[in-house]
Amino acid sequence: MASEDKCPLKPVRTGKYSLKWTPNLESLRRALRWLFNKSWTERTPQSWELYRQAQQRYSKEVMKASKEPCRTFCITVNDVLMSARLHRALSRDPKIKVGSLVAPSGKHMHS
């Protein structure tokens, strides 16, 4: 078709991290939506404050859930080839240093 030639289809970028949707996130989202509707109808400062707190809690949980797949991958790396690939990928970004990685025991990685 002529329209596809002029405007080719492009894959949608979903972002840096993939989000694993959980029942906890679903319940937080529903509570957040309920508080928004309640605040919209009441229009009191107290109800908006409750909504804002729920919104912050939901945002923190979304950030945790989006970073969890990366953490689980880094924890499961056992062989030299995979760790070399991980080191190479991390070395491409100057903001991320190997010393900034923390082992499950709580110690910082140095190699």
Residue-wise pLDDT tens digits, 21-70: 678 888 899 999 999 999 999 989 999 999 999 999 999 988 887 777 66
Residues 71 and 36 in one domain: yes
Residues 62 and 107 in one domain: no
In three-state secondary structure terms, 102 is strand
Residues 66 and 96 in one domain: no
CA distance from start to end of the chain? 54
Q: How many domains is the chain partitioned into structurally?
A: 2
Which residue, among 94, 99, 93, 101, has the nearest Cα to 73 in the 3D structure? 101
**Residues spanned by the domain of 36:** 18-76
Is a pLDDT exceeding 60 seen at residue 12? no
